[in-house]
Structure 1
Amino acid sequence: MRRFLLATLTILGLAVLIPASVLAAAWAGPGATHWSGAALSGFGPTGSTDHDLPDRYVTQLGPINDLLSAHSRDLAGWRYDGDRIVVLAATDTGERLVRDTLRDYPLPWRVERVRFSDAHLQERKTRISNTPGLLRATPSRLVTVGVDPPANCVLLVAVRLDHDLFNRLDGYEDEACVRYAYAEGTVSLADNSGGPPATYWDPATLPGTYLTLLTGFPWHIAAGLLLFGAPWVLPALRRRARARAAAA
């Protein structure tokens, strides 16, 4: 009876811990890597933002936006980190351009190196959008596909997760990332009806999303098995050690 109870608690613990740890990693920032190689890098309601840009920056974005428009192969956009604008550069040339052009910029700023330029990600966005079966899925799963400068990736916002979505992003590695948005009232890219916005987030899709979170992220599965396997493995090791000691 004790072993049955322990086995039941282990299974229930894994069933809760693994999906929760995947969502926590996506929400906190590091993200979770699917076994296909694609990443779940965000978790939250649609339309949420990390920071609102202060008015003093809104009126001073002209030089930065002009620089980004003219040098999209060297730069990757900007983000606001709470006290300054961070301009993202993908090349050494881009870093020099930012430092030279914004030398007299009136507000706090800094330049940060990233892997992919805006031009590169825009090209990848086009390729991803044209991937067969990615946008036209039933039931609908994607809300938007666009370049996300702060994350430096092509961001796919999904209201439903499944292994097929991540598998179709195989090969893009860090160039593509998925955000799970659980809010209602979103309009899917798969809708061509032209009618009023519909609610594509459906509780009926939760079992599929849950199974994807439970079985699709190997590092989190391994961590869960290690944590919940200890109550089984450690007593067996102690019994084995005692048996060896008695035999000696």
Structure 2
Amino acid sequence: MTRVRDAVLAALCVAVLTPLLVLSTAAAGFGPRHWSGVPLTGVALPLLDARPTSSGTRVAALDAITEELIATEYRGWTALYTGTDGRVQIETTRLSAALFHELGDRFGGDTVGLVYTPMTPPMYPGGPDGGHTVETTWQRTDPVGSWLTLLVGFPWPLGTALLLTAAGWALVLRRRRRAAAEPAHGDGDR
């Protein structure tokens, strides 16, 4: 039973640590890349605002990317601007593998980057068409979908988290086994 418990705890640690590792590397400015090649270039959370700065210039790809986002009817994006690195930065309230793949296939990771801003208020309170369809915060931010994208969409943080978790649990289990196998010193020696 302890092996099952240890396996479940290791899986839970990976499920929590990997998205945190991806977000922290994006906040530190390392820009972890999704499998599609598109980097997560920034994060804007309540206590952490690590967005790339705008260069103030307008690159030619900005219009093409805007048209692509409108054509795909992806409603999670809130802003587009050119960053100081020359990439078009797309601020989005939710992360999805489909968005990463579409942008990666169409433009590549050297042209576009995503900034995760889940707390940004909606652009159109009544929907883009002015109708009566209002998305709830859960629908607009899709926390489960964003978490899954952070969990399995970024290869090197996933591998690093797996290795660190496995090494940690191996050390803990080794210490437990040593402590259980060593006889208690000083008990009954007199």
TM-score (norm 1): 0.56
1:157 to 77, 80, 91: 91
Q: Distance in 2 between matches of 1:163 and 1:41?
A: 16
Percent of paired sites with the same residue: 28
SS in 2 for 1:130: helix
- How far did 1:33 drift? 0.6
Q: C-alpha root-mean-square deviation of aligned residues, in Å?
A: 3.2
Does the C-alpha gap of structure 1 residues 183 and 199 become closer, same or farther in structure 2, counting only changes over 3 Å? farther
What is the identity, as a one-letter code, of the residue corresponding to 1:41?
A: T
1:212 to 116, 127, 149: 149
Is 1:185 aligned to residue 124 of structure 2?
no
Deviation by residue 1:180-230 (Cα, 9 ceiling, x = unmatched) = 102142306xx532479x777436711111111111001111111211223
SS in 2 for 1:9: helix
Does the C-alpha gap of structure 1 residues 145 and 195 become closer, same or farther in structure 2, counting only changes over 3 Å? farther
Rg larger for? 1
What is the identity, as a one-letter code, of the residue corresponding to 1:126?
A: D
Gaps of 5+ in 1: 51-75, 79-117, 237-248
TM-score (norm 2): 0.72
What is the identity, as a one-letter code, of the residue corresponding to 1:15?
A: A
Is 1:146 aligned to residue 81 of structure 2?
yes
Aligned twin of 1:8: 8
What is the identity, as a one-letter code, of the residue corresponding to 1:146?
A: Y
Gaps of 5+ in 2: 175-190
Q: Distance in 2 between matches of 1:174 and 1:218?
A: 18
- How far did 1:9 drift? 1.3
The answer (yes or no) to whether the contact 2:44–2:50 under 8 Å persists in 1 is no
SS in 2 for 1:34: coil
Q: Distance in 1 between matches of 2:69 and 2:78?
A: 17
The answer (yes or no) to whether the contact 2:42–2:50 under 8 Å persists in 1 is no
